Amino acid sequence: MATSTVEDYIKQIYLEQIDSIDGFVTMGRVAISLGVVPGTATTMVKSLADSELVNYEPRVGVRLTEAGEELAIQMLRRHRLIELFLVETLGLDWSEIHEEAEKLEHAISDRVLEQMDTLLGHPKVDPHGDPIPSESGNLSNELLMNLGNCILNQPLNIARITDQSSEFLQFVNKSGLMPGVELTVLKRESAADAITLHLSNGMSLVVGTLAGEKILVE
């Protein structure tokens, strides 16, 4: 059985791999994303390679094997289902559930997971709008527009928040830009680096391009 440390490494490598060019994740990225020193990342990745969960090329990086990807997706399902459960059933704030799910994802049994899934009605997205893989391991991967490149003057729905630092989520909360909210992008001024929005609740606000690109819509 994979330890919770192994589960975290694999999940994190998967996430990093998604937005990597060549499919390889560097040791530096692994280290940062898991909060360890580079030497630890190297050691651990070599051991993951021994377990056939990744392919490791010294001085190049890691890439998940089939088995690794399967485990990663399973962990993603656990993590996201738990996050939704914490919000829906226990009424926690969606900006503070990540750490909790980070621990629980290793502790609950498949039995409990399925029970949660049923109770929640087989949801497709978590509170941040991230897709929840199906039990069979299917992960929808439609690419969405963001506030920096979507159509102007068209009602859109916020689908997903890609920066999940509690700082950004707090801002999103405060500004009423949570997933599900309807809005219209009024204008974009590249010189001013600004995007002007109009929310369905009547509020208008301006965000910078960098922030806007972290908010996906559909």
Partner DNA sequence: ATATAAAGTTTGATTATTCAAAATACCTGT
Partner DNA sequence: ACAGGTATTTTGAATAATCAAACTTTATAT
| Residues in contact with its own copies by the rule CB under 8 A | 86, 89-92, 96, 99-100, 103-104, 106-109, 111-112, 115-116, 119
Which of residues 128 and 195 has its CB atom nearest to Mn ion in the complex?
A: 128
Q: Where are the beta strands (DSSP E) in the chain?
A: 54-57, 61-64, 145-146, 156-161, 182-189, 194-199, 204-208, 215-217
Q: Report the partner that residue 58 touches, choosing among Mn ion, DNA, its own copies, none (CB closer than 5 to 8 A by kind).
A: DNA
Token pair, residue 4, equals: 């919770």
Rounded to whole angstroms, the Cα distance separating 92 from 156 reads: 27
Q: Determine if 55 is a binding residue for DNA (CB under 7 A).
A: no
Q: Determine if 74 is a binding residue for DNA (CB under 7 A).
A: no
Which distant-in-sequence residues (6+ apart) come within 8 Å of 156 by Cβ? Answer: 145, 150, 182, 183, 184, 185, 217, 218
DSSP state letters, 107-122? TS-HHHHHHHHHHTTS
Q: Nearest approach, Cβ of 39 to its own copies (angstroms)?
A: 24
Which of residues 63 and 79 has its CB atom nearest to Mn ion in the complex?
A: 79
- Pair 180, 166: CB distance under 8 Å: no
Q: Determine if 196 is a binding residue for DNA (CB under 7 A).
A: no
Question: Could you give the 3-state DSSP secondary structure of residue 125?
Answer: strand
Q: Which stretch binds DNA (CB under 7 A): 36-44, 66-74, 119-127, 159-167?
A: 36-44
Nearest CA to 198 among 210, 187, 186, 209? 186
Q: Which of 6, 53, 84, 113 binds DNA (CB under 7 A)?
A: 6
Q: Which stretch binds DNA (CB under 7 A): 4-12, 122-130, 146-154, 210-218?
A: 4-12
Which of residues 108 and 199 has its CB atom nearest to its own copies in the complex?
A: 108
Contacting residues toward DNA, per CB under 7 A: 3-6, 26-28, 34-47, 58-59, 61
